[in-house]
Amino acid sequence: MKFELDLLQNAMDSLREALSKFSEGSVSNISAYKFSVLHFSHFLELLFKYHVSESHPLLIYKNPFSKKIEKENTIGLWDAIQFLRNEGKEFSSDFSKDLEWLKKLRNDIEHHKFEMNVLDVRRTLGRLIRATDEFNDYYGVFDISERLIGPHLSIYKELLDEYTSKIKDARISAKSKSENKTTYDCTHCGESDTAALISGHYICQLCEEKESIVQCCRCGDNFRDSETILWNEDYDEYMCDYCYSHISSM
């Protein structure tokens, strides 16, 4: 049974695998991010080789003058990037830094022990996808999103949308940092499941606002600061809305 992919098809196949693994990643399934990094690194290398091949297919080989071209090694990611720079195409310093970060993590994963921060992986892959999409759009090569469907397209669009991506990251952070592993809504930015219970405060991992937990001086239950009324300023006593309403109606 024969299976064959050209350069661009191979790149997109790796991107789909990277997106699938990215969607499987969670606090309880961190290893999925490892495979997302590997597949995404492969995607980037093949993608920029494809950009080089648009100038001439033989330029992806280290020795394009070889008599046995099919046996020649192809160029790497940084060779492809440098070629494109020499053609006048621009890459930001931030993009280069993210590529260096990804390269190091990929090499550690492939060849030795490694450690990674889940949020760093999510944020860096998000930035790289946005930068790559802008590069493709600016130089008019092709639209990646047109080659994706279903869940792969949804994840890709999520990563392109920086705010949506930040909300996802905030929810993961809240889940991992909350002392009782429960997430809470933020009353400041209004987003759900982005706040964590930390040292007696609800701290939003998206907008970073902090809300204290106070005790009702009448019923003794704990409430958010925003859910209470300052009953006695001299003694710093608070009362929940229910108790305050009950007393006010007497």
When pLDDT is averaged across residues 29-39 and rounded to a whole number, the result is 92
Q: Given this model, what pLDDT does residue 117 score? A: 87
What are the pLDDT digits (tens) for 215-228?
888 888 888 888 88
Range of the domain at 234: 216-248
Residue 171 lies in a domain: no
129 in the same domain as 43: yes
Residue 197 lies in a domain: no
Strand partners for 19: none
Residue 133 lies in a domain: yes
Residue 150 pLDDT exceeds 70: yes
Distance CA(248)–CA(250), nearest Å, equals: 6
Q: Given this model, what pLDDT does residue 18 score? A: 96
Distance CA(71)–CA(64), nearest Å, equals: 11
When pLDDT is averaged across residues 36-41 and rounded to a whole number, the result is 95
Q: CB neighbours (10 Å) of residue 7?
A: 16
Phi, psi of 231 (to 5 degrees): -85, -45
Domain end among 132, 160, 188: 160
Confirm if 10 and 46 have CB atoms less than 8 A apart: yes
132 in the same domain as 235: no
Residue 201 lies in a domain: no
Confirm if 176 and 205 have CB atoms less than 8 A apart: no
Distance CA(147)–CA(152), nearest Å, equals: 10
- In total, how many domains does the chain have? 2
Which pTM was predicted? 0.75
Residue 165 pLDDT exceeds 90: no
Domain end among 144, 160, 176: 160
Q: Given this model, what pLDDT does residue 147 score? A: 92
222 in the same domain as 156: no
